[in-house]
Amino acid sequence: MTPAATALVLLAFWLVPGLLGLLAGTALFLNRPRVGLGLLLGGLFFGLLVRPFPLGLALFGVGFLLGYLRRR
């Protein structure tokens, strides 16, 4: 795998927890608890898989806060 392809895959892995957090925060704000909790669990699980370890959870948290607070 070329370095550019590796960087692209790593970037995608870093963006997924943030995107799932954003969608979970938006769903919970719009009173869709089942959708929001499913996205929340998926985002937390994927955030635990991303290396380095705390980065995935931090990106998930930032995405969740942006999704929840963006609608206010």
Burial readout 30-61 (b: 16 or more C-beta within 10 A, e: otherwise):
eeeeeebeebbebbbebbeebeeeeebbebbb
pTM of the predicted model as reported, rounded to 2 decimal places: 0.89
* Mean pLDDT value across the chain: 93
CB atoms within 10 A of CB 63: 24
- pLDDT for 68 equals 93
pLDDT digits (tens, 9 = 90+) for 7-35: 999 999 899 999 999 999 999 999 999 99
- pLDDT for 15 equals 94
Q: How many residues does the chain have?
A: 72
Q: Contact, 42 vs 3, CB < 8 A?
A: no
